Chains A and B, each alone.
Chain A
Amino acid sequence: MSLLTEISEMLQRGKAAEVKNLVQNAIDEGTDPRVILEEGLLHGMGVIGEKFKNNEVYVPEVLIAARAMNAGSEILKPHLADAGVEASGTVILGTVKGDLHDIGKNLVRMMMEGKGLEVIDLGVDVPPEKFLEAALERNADIIACSALLTTTMTEMKNVIETVAGEGQRDRFRIMVGGAPVTESFCKSVGADLYAPDASSAADAAAALCREKRAG
């Protein structure tokens, strides 16, 4: 088994310590950090993400894998920076003002990170200005808002208006989700993207960043 395949497999089994060691070995062998990331870590998370999507594994299994991925990433990060590799995209994520539901949002974060995106999680009860402020500060690609209440989903519109009000609407893609949110609601408030679950949210965000960065 190649080192990269082994990294992927250990990651899928959630073996953080092993992943860490294997990533170090791969670096010591002179493997390109970009390849370790793509064919080792992200490959492993991709497999787990697919299994989760198909209801073959439960969330705790995905979380263990995500922790193993983080352990490997920690080792890899300085080497990626040296090689001039950036995250494939940056997402500002939060639950909108007045809403405290965050289980779904946390899953979205985990799956997005598993796609190699950098996620800045602003937590719950996030006012519109905070989304914008963070997006400007981190030069983000996407602002992603979660809402679980029919009385707070309207806050998404306020986020979009705040961003537009500052003349920044074209700079960021705005993504919305959460149980009561639908494709048509997304359109009606003028958001760019809706996804019904965490895996498709991550897929869509990764695709959007690729597209955006390709120009």
Chain B
Amino acid sequence: MRFTELAIDDSTGLIFGTAPRPVTSGRGLTVGGGQVYPELNFTLPTMEVNARTYPEIKEIYRNTVDDVLTRAAALHVEGIVVEFETLLEMTLEPAYGIELTEVLVEACERLSARYGMKAEVRLTPNDTRDYERPPRMRNSPYLENMLRLFDEGAKAGATFLSIESTGGKELHDEALVNCDIQGVVFALGVLGVRDMRFLWDHITKIANDRGVIAGGDTACGFANTAMVLAEKQYIPRVFAAVDRAASIPRSLVAYERGARGPDKDCGYEGVFLKAIAGVPISMEGKTAACAHASPVGNVSMAACDLWSNESVQAVHLLGGPAPVVSLEQLAYDVRLLNESIRTRQSLLLRDMLVGSDIPHDPQALILAPDSVIRIARAVVAAGDHLTATLAAVGTALEIIEEAVHDQRLRMDPREEAWVTMIREQLAQIPHNEDLFVEMMQGRIDSGKVLLEEYGL
């Protein structure tokens, strides 16, 4: 583990707008340097992506980004990140992704110049290795095009590079619906960590060669899937909470391999990464309700440096195109945060954001600054990533148990039995990777997971 101490070791220091290691773009947008900025992402309405529809798609991207940035300027937004999270076809066929990046970059340049704004593009290609089952993480025929999109997208002017990589997900999906914490820890703390090292060496090299910024990688396909399943009452909320904790060491690897942030929006583990690595982070919450339900709508804002809508479809609403409406909501959220900074009341606002969410859900509780520092401390004190994953899960459980005991957290009685079950399963995991691999080998279906693709 590269990080052995915390960049923020006091919970009062974990707050929106300021990160110990801010990041500045070529146009001079500083993220984590004292102000919060919006990050806007949009996707297509119901339509196919192919050669026939592509010209129309290009128009949608062009018009939408223009509308969004024009409205942003009207609202005196000084800086903004436009995330381009590609749809699968745009990574499988990088020419689409590259050209659409150019479209977005051109608009950011033109409108930044016109309005004196600092608009930057974050490019997030898909992890297309998942396209093949079982995925070949290191020898995937899809790897080349995916890396090509990173490279040519960076060349085309994307400022930040990110991904929601999927190493270990083929095991994690099943572990999740079975609430199997051993499978979760193996998927994230062993397979995920190993794949992140492999992948992020490539991404940081591309970023360095092209002179752009390696943003970060969220465990969206893991912990956000857990959150969505919990929200549907398919799995216990407490399981989703510990799944989030288990994703911390995995997502930290990007920063160990040279990424600098801002971390991507769709992983609430970002707050832990900020505490550990000091990187600025993008977060999403109530203003991402256009994309998905969430039990952490306010608390997720407490330490954000970029505030995001996750994704909105480019459809038309009464107020205008949905992405413009979404930008407007983000812009007002951000104004409030920045005004609290200006008037030195940010800590008060932060504590309200935190306090309003944490009694309702264990997933919110573990994102509270005190919990974050406590869990992050356990992570950096561990000697390796597996031990860190176990420590994160164990500490999260402790925090949840204490809060239930003190009646600070309302928990469905159905959930309580799960806390004990998770604890028991967790205790059986060896604190040594070789032994854990041995233990899991018999349980892993070689038709679904190829361990050799993780160097095992």
Contacts and interface: CB of A to CB of B under 8 A. Distances in A.
Interface string B76-101: 00000000000111000000000000
A106 B174 CA distance: 10
A214 interface: no
B46 A153 contact: yes
A63 to B, nearest CB: 6
B267 interface: no
Given A59-B229, A150-B43, A125 B131 contact: yes
A129 to B, nearest CB: 17
Given A58-B235, A63-B177, A124 B133 contact: yes
Contact of B225 (A59, A98, A103, A155): A103
Interface in B58-89: 87-89
A100 interface: yes
Given A98-B88, A103-B173, A58 B179 contact: yes
B48 interface: yes
B130 interface: yes
A4 to B, nearest CB: 28
Contacts of A180: 46
A60 B178 contact: yes
B235 A149 contact: no
Contacts of A162: none
Contact of A60 (B44, B130, B235): B235
Nearest to A58: B235
A151 interface: yes
Contacts of A59: 177, 179, 229, 234-235
Contacts of A123: 133
A59 B47 CA distance: 32
B229 A103 contact: yes
> Main secondary structure on chain A at its contact with chain B?
loop
A87 to B, nearest CB: 24
Interface in A77-129: 98, 100, 102-103, 106-107, 123-125
A55 interface: yes
Nearest to A98: B88
B131 A151 contact: no
A5 interface: no
Nearest to A125: B131
Interface string A56-84: 10111001000000000000000000000
A58 B46 contact: no
A154 B46 contact: yes
Nearest to B88: A98
A58 B87 CA distance: 32
A130 B133 CA distance: 17
Contacts of B49: 151
B371 interface: no
Nearest to B415: A58
B313 interface: yes
A150 B233 contact: no
B124 to A, nearest CB: 16
B49 to A, nearest CB: 5
A151 B178 contact: no
A149 B131 contact: no
Contacts of A153: 46
Nearest to B234: A59
Interface in A118-145: 123-125
Nearest to B412: A55
B177 A151 contact: no
Contacts of B116: none
B270 interface: no
B26 interface: no
B45 interface: yes
Interface string B110-154: 000000000000000000001101000000000000000000000
Per CB-CB distance, the 5 closest pairs between chain A and chain B, nearest first, are: A60-B179, A150-B46, A59-B234, A55-B233, A154-B48
Given A151-B87, A155-B48, 10 more contacts: A56-B414, A58-B235, A60-B177, A60-B235, A100-B88, A102-B173, A103-B177, A150-B45, A151-B47, A151-B89
26 contacts: A58-B179, A58-B233, A58-B234, A59-B179, A59-B229, A59-B234, A60-B177, A60-B179, A60-B235, A63-B178, A98-B89, A100-B130, A100-B131, A102-B173, A103-B173, A103-B225, A103-B229, A124-B133, A125-B131, A149-B87, A150-B44, A151-B44, A151-B48, A153-B46, A154-B47, A155-B48
